[in-house]
Amino acid sequence: MSNARKLFDEELKVINVGLKIFYEDLKRQGVRAVQVNYQPPPKLEKELKDKLSELL
């Protein structure tokens, strides 16, 4: 049996790193899923970033 075929025979498990509505919809369908609340760090101007680094 090919690896791709095995993938479709297994239970779906999802890690959602995005919109919570996707996670909620998966849960309604009975899919095992976890929601990761991630936000990329804000992009800072170089001068502000340097000053912040000095404080830390």
pLDDT tens, the chain, 56 aa long? 678 788 788 888 999 998 999 999 999 999 999 999 988 877 778 888 788 888 87
- When divided into structural domains, the chain yields a total of 1
Task: Return d(Cα 8, Cα 1) in angstroms, integer.
Answer: 11
Query: Whole-structure pTM over 0.95, yes or no?
Result: no
Range of the domain at 28: 3-55
Bridge partners (DSSP) listed for residue 15: 34
Hunting for tokens 């830390």 — which residue is that? Answer: 56
Cα radius of gyration rounded to whole Å, the chain: 20
**Under 8 Å between Cβ of 44 and 56:** no
